[in-house]
Chains A and B, each alone.
Chain A
Amino acid sequence: MKNDVVVIQFPGVNCEYETARALASVGLSAKIVRWNAAADSLEHAAAIVLPGGFSYQDRIRAGVVAAKDRIMDAVFDAASRGVPVLGICNGAQILVESGTVPGFQTGTIDLALAPNRMPDRTGYFCTWVRVKKGPARCIFTEFLDGALEDAGTIPIPLAHAEGRFVTSSDEVARRLEAAEGLALLYARPDGSTADSFPENPNGSLLAIAGVTNPAGNVLALMPHPERATWLHQVPRWVGGRWAHARDGAGAAAMYLPGPGRGFFESLRKGLRP
């Protein structure tokens, strides 16, 4: 397992295999590890990914039961040592509920992923959106440039009911507004920050799609890059460079890289410069 990227399979997640395939697509060796594995199973991990899904059926609050699992102590320790940790969707909810991000105060729960706030509807929402890099440096977005469209955006799918980043702390809000931790923001096609539905699909504070820690090695990301690893996964209606490339690729779109692969490529370059 040495130097593998470890994908943690909590009970109820459902994206662990496609996440492992996305990691493999950029040449990283991925290993799926169960949530109740031995305490030292993350010791030599090159990076850790908490995949999307519904850990513990989202009981009580999405991500909170998994956040109390013993393996999260090891994730927290690894993150403190600088090991890259990516939480995708439910994985992001686990990182938030365990206080791993934004990490302004060690272990304090400074953020929540609250239920989506959308006009005329509630609950689960599934679509493609555009995101852009925020001002905070993060290993998962550092080398994303090759995937960006002309406006600096990247199309990506999302699917969640509780994805609205919020905080009750004035201090945390102030630090976020000062651009600390803002790794990824929802954006309009012209590259401007999306402050309203549907470009900001859940009413997230400051249009946050992904939050990183001060060291930049942890990313809690609500969209699903692993679902955009191959070009054929990009729907035509999304428009822009990637949809155009898919149209032009024909059957080869099955094998060509999609926009989401950029996040994993960025991790690979961060691990092996």
Chain B
Amino acid sequence: MIEVSLDVMLKGIDLVADTAFLTLRGKMGYQDNLLGIKRLDAYAFRFDAGNPPETLSRLKRLLNTQTLFYNRNKHDFSLRCRWEGGGLEEGVSVDHCHRQLARQVRRTLAGVPSENLRSIEGETRVMLKNVPVFRTEVVVENLDPSVKTGLSQKLETELSTAPVVVATLGTLWQLALRAASTGEAEALTRQIVVTEKRDRGFLLNPNYQGFRLLAAETMELVE
């Protein structure tokens, strides 16, 4: 069994993420809590292969020659593959996304007086008025199973292997949130993500999309 995860991010400006940022802060009242937001396209799938290195070389040829997942001219990617007795990791998009989010947080906090940013000696977390900043990650997916079926059929044809099980096909949002605790950061994330009311929620419509919270951790002061 080979497990593959692939995260794809635009190399240039991501207008969709920027629009989400401006809408949430400017129109929906999250200007005190939301300090940054970035996104990647997230894919995860698995399949059986007798000879993993050979199948992976077919996969990499597919990635390099087709635009099924990304276009190398405008996207960065991170590819992680694991199989019994081996593994492979390459690409930069996940690190790139973390760096971009940290940069956006710094830009957002640029006008904040420095005494408000760190008050605990030796503290390496981003702190705003003694409240930490969390990075939360959610993946938003279309709940229609036919969407994943289409991708698995394409992969089965291209990789000459079956069945290919697509576990994830969606958008991975990374949010930088000012919150008192992990629980509060998670609750805030859910509130921002799920559109329940006209004035509440934004990133998914629960009538055809779902989400999984993947991470909620404090952000460090890194360059």
Contact check, A107 vs B146: say whether CB atoms are below 8 A apart. Answer: no
**A114 contacts the other chain (Cβ, under 8 Å)?**
yes
Number of B residues contacting the other chain (C-beta, 8 Å)?
27
How far is it, in angstroms, between the C-alpha of A117 and the C-alpha of B23 when the chains are bound?
Answer: 29
Contact check, B20 vs A60: say whether CB atoms are below 8 A apart. Answer: yes
Residue of B nearest to A122 (CB): B150
Residue of A nearest to B197 (CB): A107
How far is it, in angstroms, between the C-alpha of A76 and the C-alpha of B197 when the chains are bound?
Answer: 13
Q: How far, in Å, is B16 (CB) from chain A's closest CB?
A: 5
**In the complex, what residues of B have CB within 8 A of residue A168's CB?**
143, 206-208
**A269 contacts the other chain (Cβ, under 8 Å)?**
no
Contact check, A107 vs B198: say whether CB atoms are below 8 A apart. Answer: yes
**In the complex, what residues of A have CB within 8 A of residue B195's CB?**
64, 97, 109
Contact check, B206 vs A56: say whether CB atoms are below 8 A apart. Answer: no
**A59 contacts the other chain (Cβ, under 8 Å)?**
yes
Contact check, B207 vs A166: say whether CB atoms are below 8 A apart. Answer: yes
How far is it, in angstroms, between the C-alpha of A61 and the C-alpha of B203 when the chains are bound?
Answer: 8
Contact check, B208 vs A112: say whether CB atoms are below 8 A apart. Answer: yes
**A110 contacts the other chain (Cβ, under 8 Å)?**
yes
B 173-198 to A, binary, CB cutoff 8 A, 1 in contact else 0: 00000000000000000000001111
**In the complex, what residues of B have CB within 8 A of residue A169's CB?**
207
Categorize the interface residue count of chain A: 20 to 34
Stretch of A67-75, A190-198, A210-218, A255-263 at the chain-chain interface: A67-75
Knowing A68-B27, A70-B27, A108-B197, the reply to whether A61 touches B15 (Cβ < 8 A) is: no
B 60-79 to A, binary, CB cutoff 8 A, 1 in contact else 0: 00000000000000000000
Contact check, B208 vs A166: say whether CB atoms are below 8 A apart. Answer: yes
**In the complex, what residues of B have CB within 8 A of residue A108's CB?**
196-197
**A111 contacts the other chain (Cβ, under 8 Å)?**
yes
Q: How far, in Å, is B31 (CB) from chain A's closest CB?
A: 14
**A98 contacts the other chain (Cβ, under 8 Å)?**
yes
**In the complex, what residues of A have CB within 8 A of residue B19's CB?**
56, 59-60, 65
**B28 contacts the other chain (Cβ, under 8 Å)?**
yes
B 122-154 to A, binary, CB cutoff 8 A, 1 in contact else 0: 000000000000000000001110110010000
How far is it, in angstroms, between the C-alpha of A106 and the C-alpha of B15 when the chains are bound?
Answer: 32
Q: How far, in Å, is A2 (CB) from chain B's closest CB?
A: 27
Knowing A70-B27, A107-B198, the reply to whether A117 touches B146 (Cβ < 8 A) is: yes
Q: Which of A70-120 contact B (CB under 8 A)?
A: 70, 72, 76, 97-99, 107-112, 114-115, 117
Q: Which of A155-169 contact B (CB under 8 A)?
A: 166-169
Contact check, B146 vs A68: say whether CB atoms are below 8 A apart. Answer: no
**A127 contacts the other chain (Cβ, under 8 Å)?**
no
- List 6 other contacts, CB 8 Å, given A60-B202, A61-B205, A112-B207: A59-B16, A65-B19, A67-B198, A72-B198, A117-B144, A166-B208
Question: Which residues of A are in contact with B by a Cβ distance under 8 Å?
Answer: 56-57, 59-61, 64-65, 67-70, 72, 76, 97-99, 107-112, 114-115, 117, 122, 166-169
